[in-house]
Structure formats: C-alpha cells, structure tokens
Amino acid sequence: MIPCEKDRTVNITYLEAPLEKVWWSIVTPPGTNTYLTYTADTTGDPLHPKVGDIFTLCYGDIINRSEVIACEKHQSFALKDAYESIAPDGSTDHFFVTTHFRLEQEGAFVKLTLEVTGFQDDEYGQWFRECLEMGWRRSLMNLKSVLELGMDLRAEMFSYPRLGVVNCTVNQNQSISTGVPVRQGNYLLEVFPNSPADAAGLMKGDVIVAFDDVPTPAYEDFVRAISFYYGKESQVTIRYIRNGEEKRTVARLSIEDTFTGRVELEGTSLEEIKQKRERLARQRSASGAIWKEQGGLSDE
C-alpha cells in the first residue's frame, strides 16, 4: 500500500499494452466490462466519453453512479463517484469519492496511476478507504492479466470465502476502547446476522488478530489471510480480543453470495439488478439462519 493521507489512496501499475487499449479499457463501458464491471451503462456515447456523461457501474451488490468530470484522451480521466452499498440490515449506504486515472507512456509500458480522494475521516470512511484500495489493487491486477495474458481472473480475485463482517484496521480511538495497539488487529464494525462470524460467536467491537495463527494486523493482511482459503472447504480458527482478553473460536467461511456480495449480473437489466440486490439484502438479514441451525463453534 502506498502511504497516503487519510482522505485518499493511490495505486500504480505498469501495463505492457498499447496506450489506446488501456484507455479504452478504463473509460468505456465495454472496456470496464472486460475486467471490472458486470453491467455498465452511460448517458453518452459508449466509445467516446466526455465531461458530463453519467456512468452506471455495477460490481456485485455495489452500484456506482459516476459523473465524468475530466477527460483528456490518453492522458487523464476522472469520475465523481456515488457508491451504493447494501448494509447488513438491508439498508443502502452511500459513499462519495473522486477517482482519477492518469496514463503515461514509458517505453513499452503504460504507467497507470489511480488516485481516489474524498474519504471521510471516520470509522466507516476508513473501512471504505481500505476496502476500495484493496478492491482496486485486485482489479488493476486483473486488468493487467486481461491485457497481457487474455485472462479474466476476477472470479479468482474476488470469490474468496467470507466471514460476514465489516472490519477495519484498529485506529487510535478503537485502540483506546479495546486495548489493542494501533494497526495490530481488525476491528469489527458490523457482524452480519446469521453469518459465519455470528454463528462463531463474534460480536461488533471484537478485534480479530489471527486466522489459524496467521497474524492479521491490518485490513490488507485480513484480506490476504482469508483469501488463502479460496477453493477450500475447511474451518478456520480465529484469535480475537474482547474486553481485553484473547479468545479463540472456530468458523466455517462462506462462499454464498449473501456474504461475498457476488451476484451473477452479466446480461441483466438495471431493474433486474435492483431486484437481485433487494433479494440479497433480505437474505443478509433473514434467511441465513442455516448457519446457526448447523451450529457454529463458540469460544474456547
């Protein structure tokens, strides 16, 4: 992760591909569908974006409605984003940021700098910043794979199993309330009802410090550690801190779309997407009772 102020993130990647192809991939709906979005639409010309166009970009259970605010062909492209995310209680949360792509030709490579600014300085702003930084890191890796290898790996990138939580790296305020040092664990902002985390007895305010003795001091470590279980059907031992005491529990991670947020959207209309997102919200708050019925393992 590139060190930044709290209101922004920066990702940089080098792509061995023609500048025109990189530009097409990031600024047109057909291009974003090759590596990032499942459904994308625009109020303007799909192949020739201009300032003032409105994009509707769908990634699983998240929809981003973006206004083009800068467009300098082959050099600079910026969007004013309005992300809509389904919360654990089924409501919709909104997050507003600005995303700026900068392209530079460096020999046979295109240097792509992606800067996202405008994150709020609070717990959920921190969660969104950390989540989006890791999301873009994986998406840019997938863009590199698509352009250089012809392979779309987004399923492999994003279908790792989930615990059913909203978490962020322990910050100063959370450190005071939990006794866990800053950047030495993942604070649980939310635990989805009936999720693997809920079944395992985890609660809002707990701090996860390790999966199967692999430390998770920061958000990116948490994602890397849980990604290790991709394609595996196994239980995971979780070490966490509650009320100043270290505890252990065992959870069965989930690949259900209720908790991964990955719903099949390709080829569907925006109305169908809306209906799928509403069903997903209902599942998150109600129908996941199977996790408790099958019995999670409580604290040791």
Q: Which residues contact 107 (CB under 8 A, 6 or more apart)?
A: none
Phi, psi (rounded to 5 degrees) for 13:
-140, 155
pLDDT in the model for residue 276: 52
| 8 Å CB contact between 254 and 161 | yes
Distance between alpha carbon 286 and the CA centroid of its chain, in Å? 23
pLDDT in the model for residue 257: 54
266 belongs to a structural domain:
no
Residue 20 shares a structural domain with residue 118: yes
* Segment 97-125 mean pLDDT: 97
Residue 169 shares a structural domain with residue 83: no
274 belongs to a structural domain:
no
Residue 42 shares a structural domain with residue 133: yes
Residue 145 shares a structural domain with residue 56: yes
277 belongs to a structural domain:
no
264 belongs to a structural domain:
no
Residue 206 shares a structural domain with residue 116: no
Locus of tokens 């040092």: 181
For the segment 164-196, what is each residue's pLDDT rounded down to a tens digit?
A: 899 999 999 999 999 999 999 999 999 988 889
Q: Which residues contact 138 (CB under 8 A, 6 or more apart)?
A: 157, 158
CATH at residue 214: 2.30.42.10
Task: Say how many domains are in the chain.
Answer: 2
- Residue 57, CA atoms < 13 Å, CB-side half-sphere: 27
**Pairing between strand 54-59 and 186-191?**
unpaired
Residue 133 shares a structural domain with residue 253: no
Query: What average pLDDT does the structure give for the chain?
Result: 87
| 8 Å CB contact between 66 and 55 | yes
* Segment 199-216 mean pLDDT: 97
Residue 101 shares a structural domain with residue 150: yes
299 belongs to a structural domain:
no
| DSSP states of the chain | -----TTEEEEEEEE-S-HHHHHHHHHSHHHHTTTT-SEEEESS-TTS--TT-EEEEEETTEEEEEEEEEEETTTEEEEEEEEEEE-TTS-EEEEEEEEEEEEEEETTEEEEEEEEE---SSHHHHHHHHHHHHHHHHHHHHHHHHHHH----HHHHH---B-SEEEEE--HHHHHHH-PPTTSSEEEEEE-TTSHHHHTT--TT-EEEEETTEE--SHHHHHHHHHTTTT---EEEEEEEETTEEEEEEEE-B-SHHHH-----TT--HHHHHHHHHHHHHHHHTGGGHHHHH--B---
For the segment 125-162, what is each residue's pLDDT rounded down to a tens digit?
A: 999 999 999 999 999 999 999 999 999 998 888 888 88
Residue 25 shares a structural domain with residue 132: yes
Distance between alpha carbon 275 and the CA centroid of its chain, in Å? 21
pLDDT in the model for residue 160: 84
CATH at residue 42: 3.30.530.20
- Residue 261: pLDDT above 70? no
For the segment 6-47, what is each residue's pLDDT rounded down to a tens digit?
A: 999 999 999 999 999 999 999 999 999 999 998 899 999 999
Q: Which domain holds residue 252?
A: 161-257+286-294
Residue 140 shares a structural domain with residue 175: no
